[in-house]
Structure 1
Amino acid sequence: MGEVLRINPFASLFAASLIVLAPVHAAAQTQQESTARQESVSVRDRDRPEYDAPGRRLGSFNLNAALDLAVTSTDNLFAAPDGAPSEVDDIIYSVAPNASLSSDWSRHAFAIDAGAVFRSHEDFSNEDADDHYVRATGRFDIGENTALRGTLRSSHQVTPRTDPDSPFIGAPVEYDRVDSGVGVTHRFARFTASLDANSSEYEYDGAQSFRDNEESALRGRLDVELSPRIGLLLAATVDERDYNNSPQFNSDGAAYMVGVSLNSDLMRGEVSVGQFERDYAGATGSFDGVAVEANVEWYITQLTTVTVDARRDADDQIGAFSGEPYITEEYGVRVDHELLRNVILTGSARFGNRDYETIAREDEYNEWEVGADYMLNPHAALRLRYQHDEVDSPAYRDYEVNQATLGLTLRL
């Protein structure tokens, strides 16, 4: 009975919002509209003045805010192994407010944003756990060609049950994370040089404190404009990872990349390849390999955008079932199609492999998602998603998770 009383207020709010915010009429799509739309912009980034949230003007700042309400049905709440007794379903209710305040100055820039996700489970209230964050970013323009920038972010996060090193029993794994960074960029002729220093600190709650760690990285990059449509990029990164309570997993890494940047009417993004190296303090030793980074948007038509990304690099994470380094290979594709001016269809697929270097374990995983976004008016939008996650790991656990989500976003 207590559980019902706990859920009903949220369900009532969600249902009432759907009734009150009746959809506005979507005008039929015409060839003239298609021709007039912005070119070389992804479907999701394109301006839609009749449906974009206007926000609020506060002096020389712009305020934007939203409240996302969602109901998710899952058939494997704990991402438990196939056929295990803990392979159970549940309904998850979430409320996610967020807001951002950004400057509108002719020089320099400053922005602050914050958000949270509050989750409530219908059957397993012990899984209730909240995320929240606050972030500040800034840019100081020294001159026309030189700028300093900085960022600071503090957050409280929950490790998903589908994480490769998260337990599928017990309480959710929660941790605090602080990220900071400073950088400088200078442009001269056809060259742009940048240097960034970043750090991240992870502090886990309770019995998971053995996973506490700190990461710091220094990255330099040079962009060469070969033509208005294509450029050459060179990048080098060195980093250090320190585990406070497990020093045997401390490591130093480096990556050296060369690639191209694309900025044409049909395609925009970057593709780079190179070499990574990682040396461990303990008996793990060192290893290296081919590094890959790619993210490209392809504007097949003004109504359809295909986004392709790829990554290959060294990872390590101390968790419930392993504390070993592995190489991640991951490839993804997403298609966004504007069916109507206010209706966007989306579909995505991702395939990956985690190859552990020091133990007999290899994880293969794939996930795909289909859905639609229906913009009712500038202040409200509906979201529908169906997601499938699957992992094949004989040394760890094989599992499948299916989720269906109905969401309503209210915007300022």
Structure 2
Amino acid sequence: MTVLLAMGAAAQAGSVVAQSASGSLRSAASQSVDLFARDRSVAVRDRPHPEYEAFGLRLGAFTAYPKLDVGTEYNDNIYAVASGEVSDTILRLKPEISITSGWSRNAVSAYARGAFSRYSDYDSEDTDDYGFGASGRLDVTRAANLLAGADFAHLAEPRTSSSAPASTVSPIEYDMASAYLAGSQTRGRVRFSARGDVRSFTYEDGRTIGGAVVEQGDRDRTSSSVTGRTDVALSPATALFVQATGNSRDYDVASTPLNPARDSSGYEVLAGANFEVGALARGEVAAGYIQQEFDSPAFGDVSGLGARASIEYFPTQLTTLTTTVSRTVEDAAIVGAGGYLSSSIGLQADHELLRNVILGGQLTYAEDDYEGIDRTDERLSASLRATYLVNRRLGVSLAASSFKQTSSGTNEGVDFKVNRLMLSLVGQF
């Protein structure tokens, strides 16, 4: 889902691998080809604050950045249920270390992080998440580079996920491993880029309060995709592009008449524009067609309009407004459905109240339309955040969020609402 933004010149990614690849592509493009640079303005969240940034620990040609986030959260509906809501206070500990190279050409980076949650009253919800990964960039020439990276993460599925079984005593845990290889080359007004991704998911079985096993093996899968893209610059501020992506999603379990596997293949074809309007706005907009065909006749194919957009607006140098739009095909983990069309739109506002005080708010609406069953899920989330940078060692963050799901249809899911209040102290070195 992040492939388009990871390869766009003004993109913002959504995952750690995609974010790393996106930043490297933009950096290389800005250094070598001005026709594709979109850097006249700097977003509030991206603006450097040298006086508040960690020095890091020098390790020869590399620099290590240790960080520790200690926070507490109040959640008024930890099981994400429609009635009988239970609240709890949660302690969260998030250690992290990242290492980056300091070379003038080429780049290598690596990270390791954890997220450990402890509930005050309901310790069956305790989770231990962790992950690590590395990425690199090879500058072949000033106009061509290669990117590669790999990540591994052990995660707990949120109770708010539509795929999460409600009957398990503890959240479902799973492993996710991913790797990518990407490259781009610019020739005059034309830039060619390509990317390949492989991602695997392995889920652990859950258990009910009575000890019965809740099988999750039918969700284990490997997804792969290949993307090609061509950008043509019309001016130093505008480029048109076409992009095609093919994917394959293979499940580990063998398909049977009683339990058909959700193996599928599909494609996405998009056309759009990448632009910058002076120092006022920049972004990328694309639309096209998406289709996912399932091997088993038990599941209906999913197809329709595909769309991606990310637009940043800078009314002042201290304020950034961001709009994002997406429409993709996602795998379902609900009986009778192979996949669903996921449509979302998000609005985000960030404001630098003071040099060391950053305010932010976000509003997102998403709709999941399932194929093969009569079910539509609507989700509305809103959040507010304030970050205070005490000095280059310490920072404090206060955030509040609300998440609401409404499900309709003869196979409707659960309607629920979750409100959270979070306070965290971040130390970096």
- TM-score band by shorter chain is 0.7 to 0.9
Q: For residues 260 and 64 of structure 1, what CA distance do their matches in structure 2 show?
A: 37
Specify the alignment match of 2:190 in structure 1.
Answer: 191
Specify the alignment match of 2:24 in structure 1.
Answer: none
Q: Which of the numbers 107, 128, 131 marks the counterpart of 1:130?
A: 128
Q: Between Structure 1 and Structure 2, how many residues are aligned? A: 371
Specify the alignment match of 1:299 in structure 2.
Answer: 314
Q: Which structure would you say has the larger Rg?
A: 1
Asked if 1:393 corresponds to 2:401, the answer is no
- Tell me which moved more, 393-402 or 166-175: 166-175
Specify the alignment match of 1:225 in structure 2.
Answer: 233
CA distances 1:383-408 after superposition (whole Å, capped 9, x unpaired): 00110000001411100000000001
Specify the alignment match of 2:266 in structure 1.
Answer: 253
Specify the alignment match of 1:210 in structure 2.
Answer: 218
Q: Which of the numbers 315, 318, 341 marks the counterpart of 1:327?
A: 341
Specify the alignment match of 1:242 in structure 2.
Answer: 250
> RMSD between aligned alpha carbons?
1.5
Q: For residues 285 and 44 of structure 1, what CA distance do their matches in structure 2 show?
A: 42
Structure 1 stretches lacking a partner, 5+ long: 1-37
Q: Name the SS for the 2:127 alignment partner.
A: coil
Specify the alignment match of 1:66 in structure 2.
Answer: 67
- Tell me which moved more, 136-145 or 93-102: 136-145
Using the TM superposition, give the Cα deviation of residue 39 of structure 1 relative to its aligned residue in structure 2, in angstroms: 6.0
Specify the alignment match of 2:151 in structure 1.
Answer: 153
Specify the alignment match of 1:276 in structure 2.
Answer: 290
Specify the alignment match of 1:80 in structure 2.
Answer: 81
Query: What residue identity is the alignment partner of 1:211?
Result: R
Using the TM superposition, give the Cα deviation of residue 323 of structure 1 relative to its aligned residue in structure 2, in angstroms: 4.2
Using the TM superposition, give the Cα deviation of residue 223 of structure 1 relative to its aligned residue in structure 2, in angstroms: 1.4
Using the TM superposition, give the Cα deviation of residue 56 of structure 1 relative to its aligned residue in structure 2, in angstroms: 2.6
Question: 1:318/1:39 Cα in 2 relative to 1: closer, same or farther (>3 Å)?
Answer: same
Question: 1:323/1:156 Cα in 2 relative to 1: closer, same or farther (>3 Å)?
Answer: farther
Q: For residues 79 and 288 of structure 2, what CA distance do their matches in structure 1 show?
A: 37
Using the TM superposition, give the Cα deviation of residue 98 of structure 1 relative to its aligned residue in structure 2, in angstroms: 0.8
- Give the TM-score, by structure 2 length: 0.84
Query: What residue identity is the alignment partner of 1:215?
Result: S
**C-alpha contact 2:337 2:371 (8 A) present in aligned 1:** no
Question: 1:144/1:52 Cα in 2 relative to 1: closer, same or farther (>3 Å)?
Answer: same
Specify the alignment match of 2:352 in structure 1.
Answer: 338
Specify the alignment match of 2:387 in structure 1.
Answer: 373
Using the TM superposition, give the Cα deviation of residue 269 of structure 1 relative to its aligned residue in structure 2, in angstroms: 2.3
**C-alpha contact 1:324 1:359 (8 A) present in aligned 2:** no
Specify the alignment match of 2:172 in structure 1.
Answer: 173
Specify the alignment match of 1:5 in structure 2.
Answer: none
Q: Name the SS for the 1:77 alignment partner.
A: coil
Q: Name the SS for the 2:124 alignment partner.
A: helix
Q: Name the SS for the 2:218 alignment partner.
A: helix
Query: What residue identity is the alignment partner of 2:400?
Result: Y
Q: Name the SS for the 1:80 alignment partner.
A: coil
Q: For residues 65 and 369 of structure 2, what CA distance do their matches in structure 1 show?
A: 42
Structure 2 stretches lacking a partner, 5+ long: 1-38, 206-214, 256-260
Using the TM superposition, give the Cα deviation of residue 106 of structure 1 relative to its aligned residue in structure 2, in angstroms: 1.8
Q: For residues 140 and 47 of structure 1, what CA distance do their matches in structure 2 show?
A: 25
CA distances 1:99-147 after superposition (whole Å, capped 9, x unpaired): 1111111222111111110110001111111111111101122222222
Query: What residue identity is the alignment partner of 2:77?
Result: N
Specify the alignment match of 2:419 in structure 1.
Answer: 402
Identity among equivalent pairs (%): 33
Q: Which of the numbers 396, 402, 413 marks the counterpart of 1:382?
A: 396
Query: What residue identity is the alignment partner of 1:48?
Result: H
CA distances 1:332-383 after superposition (whole Å, capped 9, x unpaired): 0110111111111111100011111211101111000012101111111100
- Tell me which moved more, 366-375 or 239-248: 239-248
Specify the alignment match of 1:55 in structure 2.
Answer: 56
Q: For residues 248 and 385 of structure 2, what CA distance do their matches in structure 1 show?
A: 39
Q: For residues 175 and 337 of structure 2, what CA distance do their matches in structure 1 show?
A: 20
Specify the alignment match of 1:21 in structure 2.
Answer: none
Using the TM superposition, give the Cα deviation of residue 246 of structure 1 relative to its aligned residue in structure 2, in angstroms: 5.6
- Give the TM-score, by structure 1 length: 0.87
